[in-house]
Structure 1
Amino acid sequence: MHHLLRLAIVALAAGVLATPAFGDMAPDNSLPTETPAHFVPTDTGFDYVRRTVEIPMRDGVKLHTVILVPKGSTHAGILLTRTPYGADGMGHRNDSPHLDSTLRGYDNPADVVVQDGYIRVIQDIRGKHGSEGDFVMNRPPIGHGNPTGIDESSDIYDTIDWLVKHVPESNGKVGIIGISYDGFEAMVATIRPHPALKVAVPINPMIDGWMGDDWFHRGAFRQQMIPYIYGMVNSRGSDIGWSTGHRDDYDLYLKGGSAGDIGRAYGMEALGFWQKILAHPAYDSFWSDQALDKVAANEPMTVPTMLVHSLWDQEDNYGDMAVYRALAPRDPNHEKLWLVLGPWRHAKTWEKGNTIGAIDLGSNTATTFRQTILRPFLARYLKDDAPRAGIAPVNAFVTGANTWRQLDTWPSACRTGCAPTMQRWFVGADGTLGTTAPATGEDAYVSDPAKPVPYRVRPIQSWSHGVADREDSWPEWLVDDQRQFATRTDVLTYVSPVLIQPMGIAGEPLVHLLASTSGTDSDWVVKLIDVYPDEVEAEPSMGGYQLPIAMEIFRGRYREGYATPKALVPGKAQAYRFPLPTVNHVFLPGHRVMVQVQSSWFPLYDRNPQTFVPNIFNAKPGDYKKATQKVFRGGADGTWLELPVVK
């Protein structure tokens, strides 16, 4: 046996030694490559034609643009979206030759495009993905913090000018639509617009990044947007991902220290926009000059515009309503401005919209919006000889009642513009809440930056996670049950008696908080909540559910003005006045009204050290200290919420 094995080894070795070395092998020219130098796929079976072009701007920069033309189109309107998220991905799917399937996904109203035969155009904005030039986050309009000769508006103008001259299937009419950043593009398009721009639909647009959209809310920094900033700015293709090694963002940000420390740990000092964030923690001219509601208020209104607002928008629940407040008084005859309020999270409009979180909305609300509001609105301006759409100036979904209302103005208690009645709801002793001013008193709690109040039940996943299940449901956190937070000793809870009659509210609830802190700075979080009956026969899982209706944070250092922070006086009762986000809700009989007050909302917002420092991004570990917080009640000068009540 050993002998045979030995022979086998020798034979094997001989064979190996007899094999010529790789470098000695003669080239094999008999088998040429089977891959062509350049393969052009056909469009056999496709119901549309795809064109990819590089459109030149006035300064010579070329922008990567995808044009999808339904086969057989003539005199078709163009529907444009500009995006930093990749035009190729938004306008292409390899597994379908049909335009409807190709467009399914983020920021594509696929059903409306296909039904009405629009030419769909998607373009990478300057400096992102396939487009040349330099990327600037939310590039400000010319003259508003932008001293150059180009901005997003000029790029849109040049793009539209090229499209109407080089897309022969079009009728020369262009509309622009987009969500979030793409919604910012749709809004900025209305500033110095091209004559061929006939309609704009900004949905959940980024308008004012400091006051209440992506980066800050009333001075508190939204630190869970750090990964977004990181990914958007670190490369043209946004292809360097964020990684943490933590399952729970609460741990990541608590261990990381200040938001500035976290940025430094990830090398973000190399990112230009991050440096701007660090340099402008207050609402100085850097922010106020470029806020699009302020810019638009001083521009002619020439483009019919439909603002679309989501009542539970977890990213941009401020800007579109700010634009509406700025522009509505200038359009008394309802010729240029429309408003839609839907029961959605951010970017929910292209889905069915029959639920949000655990809440059943009673119908496919987003489908209704697309088919009965958006579709005729676009057709009126993009189709040849289209009839007037007959759409109400304001279409507002009423949460709680699960119905749509058609109104002339917002906020309104009736079709012709009846103003809501502002009604004060006072916090009282023993956690009560009511419409009668109670006796004076105070409630106290200790706010500890080492143990901040979470804004979700832990583990808290990253902002980027989807809605496949509860654990990955970040986009719908604004409807999370608030019961877990009401049990914390650093959260004050006030609740009304059971309602006998329905109570509708429409507009912005106003907070009047009289409070003190033992520190020299403080955050204040106020939540308005609809408490369901303890038992809900039709939906047992909703028994006792605490549904947030409107919630907001306010950074105390800006009590006297957003531009200049000032230290708070320890132990001094001071008034804080700020609005909650827009609501359109009915508290049903059997429900109760609840208000919660706390001093942290973590890790969505960075921790206030509760010691005044010039710039919280640079706060040191020793600056973070416990503070005793007091909320004062009683009389007209106590703590109350003013609710815009409608009948």
Structure 2
Amino acid sequence: MNLTLKFSRSLLAAALTVALSSVASAEPPAKGVYASLPSETPEHFKPAHDAFDYEARDVMIPMRDGAKLHTVILVPRHAKNAGILLTRTPYNATEMTSAVESGHLGVAVSHDDDASDVLIQDGYIRVAQDVRGKYGSEGDYVMNRPLHGPLNPTPVDDSTDAYDTIDWLVKHVPESNGRVAILGISYDGFEPLMAIIHPHPALKAAVPMNPMVDGWMGDDWFHHGAFRQQNLEYIYEQTASRKNTLKWWSNYADDYQFFLEGVSAGAVAKAYGMEQLGFWNKVAQHPAYDAFWRDQAVDKVLGNEPVSVPTMLVASLWDQEDIYGAMAVYHAMKPHDTDQRLFLAVGPWFHGQEVGDGSSLGAVRFGSDTSLYFRQHILRPFLAHYLKDAPDVPAPVNAFVTGQNVWTTSKAWPETNDASSTLAIRPDAGGKLQLGAVAESGSDSFVSDPSHPVPYRPRPVGPMAGKGWQHWLTDDQRAAATRPDVLTYTSAVLTEPLRISGPPQVHLVASTSGTDSDWVVKLIDVYPDQVAEQPEMGGYELGIAMDIFRGRYRTGFDKPAALTAGAALPYDFSLPNANHVFLPGHRVMVQIQSSWFPLYDRNPQRFVPNIFFATPADFQPATQQVFRGGDATVITLPVVKG
């Protein structure tokens, strides 16, 4: 009995000891003490890429001021005496050149690449580099960093960074032949333009595609002074963090409603804390075309430089982001092209579509893959000529004619230089257009109400990066034609082809009951009521050249001034370049309106010093009057005869 009791007590004590031990072991370890079971993840893992058909090298290239720029170099296996294709980008060089699911170079460069098929076909070495201050590169990021000078007192800029990068590459990539071409789209297209200013001797070719050139006059930030407020999202994400980790957010499904309730671009920016962002502050402080914009406009800079590097500018006829830049640079450089080193390719594309599928754009079909043609028959021989000594070189100008859907070649752009070969479109009474005839005098009016602005796309309007953004310039304009605040003029049915090549010129004579106003002019191709081969195009109203002008800059882009209420005043500006045939059976249309929202911020229609900071009380309806007849409103078309 006593032995049994003693044994039972021993078992109880043992059980308590085990239980207490379990409780103790459940307590967290002291700070800095970790479990002793070894990790199955090595501290440094070296991938085995022997089966890859290329070698990837990740390097930091030193610049002259000591900053090192992150650079990815992809060298095809067995490469020897190969040319280098360089792209400098603010959009992540690693992502541009990585493909974890494949060891093939073609797959690695297929994501966000500028000419992957040409790269593979001709065995080039691919190099992508993060620009200063972005992603893996050291230094400070400045949006489109200006050249050394009044806007940039430092000794470095994108020109010097390109020079130093090329210098390092030709010395440290033994598989190369010492020849480099630089190419890219948009911001990446801005970089080749910087590289050809005081270029490195090894830079043998440059291909700026849809480049950012003049952000105020007609590229990303403004068009003739009207601010592209939907770009606030881009400014936010691009400048708030080094690796674009901070993302724009919205509680709205419709940007139209979002910006309408936001009142002004400045108020929206403040709500997002954007006063912390250096570039936004510069934009807000420089609403006019002052020295800040003029001194960094790349076309003006290149207008004073020799054409020392063979350069192919690539322009898109329906570029929804940078429709101005490539053509502006071409016209600035052409007078100095004494050795015929300047080339131009013009295609029927949205922004950057030349490196994708170019068979169609929105509802518009082109009968062939125009982008593939560009890459194989224009870009490829251009690069091969200057990087590989291939004998053929493309024509100075290759341009796709929309409507007729054919490629043409010429020595210069536009094809016609005869000022007399134009037709004047004169708004006539009854909503008709008279081609080359004197219209009867008169006027037409509408009420522009900032509380009900004209949308530039059918609602709901998605963000710039959303669905439909790429092809909004080719969207059917019939929705606008039905609004009472849009004047619409249409010609008779054409009986013979009408071809235009170049920028249509607007001479608008109009008055407003306010003291400021925007004017939107749209040149449109109206399809026949029935199109047998594509029924959905019946009656389609296709925008050919459309743009906006902010009235306060009527007498000078650097001199904003109030308009005289009720006075008939002239407004002169260019529409974007077109290369189009209005076919027989089609009609020519012109639409005139005073808002294009929410892509462009609303004009209060009452003069205020800075529209960015307009208050709700500043916005007022205005009666707009467009005058016709005599020397009044005329839109001159750059007609190509024959």
- TM class, shorter-length: over 0.9
Residue of structure 2 in register with 1:458 after alignment: 459
Q: Tell me if the contact between 2:306 and 2:336 (Cα under 8 Å) persists in the aligned partners.
A: no
Compute the displacement of 1:328 (Å): 1.0
Residue of structure 2 in register with 1:127 after alignment: 133
Residue of structure 2 in register with 1:406 after alignment: 409
Structure 1 segment 30-179 matched on structure 2, within 5 A: 31-143=37-149, 145-179=151-185
Residue of structure 2 in register with 1:642 after alignment: 636
* TM-score (structure 2 length as normaliser): 0.95
Q: Distance in 1 between matches of 2:418 and 2:176?
A: 43
Structure 1 segment 128-527 matched on structure 2, within 5 A: 128-143=134-149, 145-332=151-338, 335-383=340-388, 386-413=389-416, 421-435=421-435, 436-465=437-466, 472-527=467-522
Q: Distance in 1 between matches of 2:153 and 2:618?
A: 39
| Sequence identity percentage | 60
Compute the displacement of 1:22 (Å): 3.7
Cα shift readout 1:381-416 (whole Å, capped 9, x = no counterpart): 112xx2332311000000001100010111114xxx
Q: Tell me if the contact between 1:411 and 1:420 (Cα under 8 Å) persists in the aligned partners.
A: no
Cα shift readout 1:282-312 (whole Å, capped 9, x = no counterpart): 0001100110101011112210000000000
Letter in 2 for 1:440: S
Change (3 A) 1:29 1:524: closer
Compute the displacement of 1:45 (Å): 1.9
Letter in 1 for 2:438: A
Compute the displacement of 1:147 (Å): 1.9
Change (3 A) 1:30 1:525: closer
Compute the displacement of 1:28 (Å): 9.5
- Structure 1 unmatched ranges of 5 or more: 1-12, 466-471
Q: Tell me if the contact between 1:498 and 1:589 (Cα under 8 Å) persists in the aligned partners.
A: yes
Residue of structure 2 in register with 1:530 after alignment: 525
Q: Tell me if the contact between 1:107 and 1:179 (Cα under 8 Å) persists in the aligned partners.
A: no
Q: Distance in 1 between matches of 2:640 and 2:232?
A: 39
Q: Tell me if the contact between 1:525 and 1:553 (Cα under 8 Å) persists in the aligned partners.
A: yes
Cα shift readout 1:481-531 (whole Å, capped 9, x = no counterpart): 000010000000000000000110000100010100000000000000000
Q: Distance in 2 between matches of 1:543 and 1:186?
A: 42
Is 1:582 equivalent to 2:577 in the alignment?
Answer: yes
Q: Distance in 2 between matches of 1:296 and 1:287?
A: 15
Q: Distance in 2 between matches of 1:506 and 1:580?
A: 12
Q: Distance in 2 between matches of 1:576 and 1:274?
A: 29
Q: Distance in 2 between matches of 1:28 and 1:438?
A: 89
Q: Tell me if the contact between 1:124 and 1:130 (Cα under 8 Å) persists in the aligned partners.
A: yes
Q: Distance in 2 between matches of 1:252 and 1:341?
A: 36
- Structure 2 unmatched ranges of 5 or more: 1-15
Aligned-partner SS, 1:340: strand
Is 1:599 equivalent to 2:619 in the alignment?
Answer: no
Q: Distance in 2 between matches of 1:482 and 1:201?
A: 33
Q: Distance in 2 between matches of 1:156 and 1:286?
A: 23
Q: Distance in 1 between matches of 2:507 and 2:259?
A: 31
Aligned-partner SS, 1:404: strand
Q: Distance in 2 between matches of 1:418 and 1:387?
A: 36
Cα shift readout 1:439-491 (whole Å, capped 9, x = no counterpart): 111100000000000000001100012xxxxxx11111110000001000000
Which of these residues, 622, 626, 640, is aligned with residue 617 of structure 2? Answer: 622
Change (3 A) 1:16 1:529: farther
Q: Distance in 2 between matches of 1:457 and 1:16?
A: 71
* TM-score (structure 1 length as normaliser): 0.94
Residue of structure 2 in register with 1:544 after alignment: 539
Q: Structure 1 stretch 440-449 or stretch 102-111: which is displaced more?
A: 102-111
Aligned-partner SS, 2:296: coil
Compute the displacement of 1:420 (Å): 7.5
Q: Tell me if the contact between 2:197 and 2:305 (Cα under 8 Å) persists in the aligned partners.
A: yes
Letter in 2 for 1:406: T
Change (3 A) 1:136 1:24: closer
Q: Tell me if the contact between 2:130 and 2:137 (Cα under 8 Å) persists in the aligned partners.
A: yes
Two-structure CA RMSD over aligned residues (Å):
1.8
